[in-house]
Structure 1
């Protein structure tokens, strides 16, 4: 990460860490994750790989429902379903996933997510359904 990229509000782990995801905004029913379209994340057409975008959608949607008021103690969630529609592409710069928790109950919630490129153009949208872990 270069100095122009914001630090993550929490330390990412596992696959999200390997992809370079950063949680840059997090509040009740809202999360914003960013990632840089690095050369190793591009496909053979030099476009950000769809799997990276789908994972960004998945992670952002989960974070939108996991906020507890403490960055160190977000609730754990798992994905029940995920839909992704690719409507643009990015080859460089920072991509941003903006997620909003749309509703749910004690155990299950849904999120809507938009992913934008470095210019603010939407490149993908998604819907996720998640379950809180015990």
Structure 2
């Protein structure tokens, strides 16, 4: 993790939809981001295992973060998801999951990231691949004011 503290630390500090998920930012640096989520009953589907929408949402967030790190306090970079493919590989119903995203390639406006979700025993729950477009003003490292 870089010396710069992440923009959001835990679920209570997150805006909008992010607060509903309630994840915690573990690290965020150039080309990589990591989130953790302690599973609650609200994250489970009718079968009692983590909902695919929760996994997909977390992967969407962390893959976008992997390409939008901003080291400048009080500023941020933003991206729009162009495509996202998620493959579910496992299930869990409790504990803490770890979601990792890595930027793999890209130019000045478009980038690609991949990511994985693991449970607290190291089991792979989902993988994803996404393509994102940097929003106007976010193409420079200093981003835009929060």
TM-score of the aligned structures, taking structure 1 as reference length? 0.89
Please give the alpha-carbon distance, in whole angstroms, between the structure 1 residues aligned to 2:103 and 2:95.
26
**What is aligned with 1:94?**
96
SS in 1 for 2:18: helix
Q: Closer, same or farther in 2 for the Cα pair 1:107/1:21, shift >3 Å?
A: same
Could you tell me how far apart the structure 2 residues matched to 1:71 and 1:116 are? 30
What is the total number of aligned residue pairs between the two structures? Answer: 127
Over residues 82-132 of structure 1, what are the superposed CA-to-partner deviations in whole Å (9 max), with x where a residue is unaligned?
000000011001111111000101111010000001111110000011111
1:124 paired residue number: 126
What are the Cα deviations for residues 8-47 of structure 1, in whole angstroms up to 9, with x where unaligned? 7514211111110221111100000111210111111110
- 1:54-86 alpha-carbon deviations (Å, 9 max, x no partner): 001000001101102236423011100000000
SS in 1 for 2:53: helix
Instruction: Measure the CA separation in 1 of the matches of 2:112 and 2:14.
Output: 22
Name the CA distance, whole Å, in 2 between partners of 1:91 and 1:72.
37
- Divergent runs of 4+, >3 A: none
Instruction: Return the index of the structure with the highest Cα Rg.
Output: 2
Name 2:85's counterpart in structure 1.
Answer: 83
Are 1:68 and 2:70 matched, yes or no?
yes
Residues 1:56 and 1:71: Cα distance change in structure 2 (over 3 Å): farther
- Give the secondary structure class of the aligned counterpart of 1:91: coil
For structure 2, which runs of at least 5 residues remain unmatched after alignment? 1-5, 137-146
> Normalised by the size of structure 2, how large is the TM-score?
0.82
Structure 2 CA distance, aligned partners of 1:73 and 1:52? 27
Structure-2 residue corresponding to 1:108: 110
Distance 1:71 1:84, change over 3 A: farther
Query: Distance in 1 between the 2:64 and 2:55 partners?
Result: 14
